[in-house]
Structure 1
Amino acid sequence: MRALYEADPLLLEVSFAAGYDGTLAMLKTTYELEGDRLEILLVYRRVEALRAFGRSLLDGANRGTLPNVDVVIRRATTPTIGLKLQKEFPEHGLFTGFITAIDKDDPAEWAYTISYEDGDSETMVLVELEPLLSTHGNALREYAVRELMLGYTYLENRLTGIFGGGTCGILVEGEGLH
């Protein structure tokens, strides 16, 4: 772990965040299935929830919900001119914007000008900007997804009885495991 930290501390932080995000559903399932109820009645629903989470990691548009991984990546992203972001405007929808200017006059709090596709623009400080930064397609996020998929693919293999000669198959939405 020390060698990984010295080589790339952000990779280690993303790995911990992914471990938390990826195992949270499994921990909740384990906790729910302990006790003196008729736990067998809960199994199907909980296992299907785990499978759905695993499938969501492969969803090209969303690539799963990994809130802790996303926070780590957003915090490590340096906003630059041209950086793309998306913001939901109530009653108007989701708009794509780009950082078009950075006002560095106040060293304590830079101001970022965001220009949107409809011609509107606004100015934000970093704390307002960070939640809007897209993490999808980020190499560290893709690493976290690939690593998490190993466990969820294993689960799918065990449930379906499909094994690829010692290697994990790939789960394809609507087609099962390949």
Structure 2
Amino acid sequence: MKLLILDRDGVINQDSDAYIKTLEEWLPLPGALEAIARLSKAGWTVAVATNQSGLARGYYDLATLEAMHASLRERVAALGGEVGLIVHCPHGPDEGCDCRKPKPGLLVRIAAHYGVPLAGVWYVGDRLGDLQAALAVGCQPVLVRTGKGARTLESPLPATTLVFDDLAAVAARLIG
């Protein structure tokens, strides 16, 4: 199985310091949905692991989050692709869960769902916490410059981090 794991906000869709609270605010980044569809059509399973502390903060409810993910799936399907498992952490930063990145719980759930080891699997994110979660389970950390990625580049990155402009560039590298 060729598995690729993506963060959501800042990688697939626009991010906001005020949180993505409505379906109308969920706006795909240019080329991101096409990149997912291309990967899917090339035999990749594309899963998503995303922190969604806006749930714990009361900014939106689970139905709204599920509508965003349904829209993601529908839009990628319209391009001939498929989105695999989507897992989210609903907790706030101080709740002490094992799923909020940089902890690797979401990635572990994806590995268990697909019954595959995570060693070497690319995890694409735009924040240091994404890269740290990847390292914790042996994934290849991949940073995109979209979302908070450009700001993340200003800090020291794990030595093995690969850096790309955006998700389309990641897809081009993986598909060839």
> TM-score, normalised to structure 2's length?
0.28
Please state which structure has a larger fraction of its residues in helix. Answer: 1
Considering only CA atoms, is the larger Rg found in Structure 1 or Structure 2?
1
Which structure's relative contact order is higher, taking Cα pairs within 8 Å and 6+ residues apart?
2
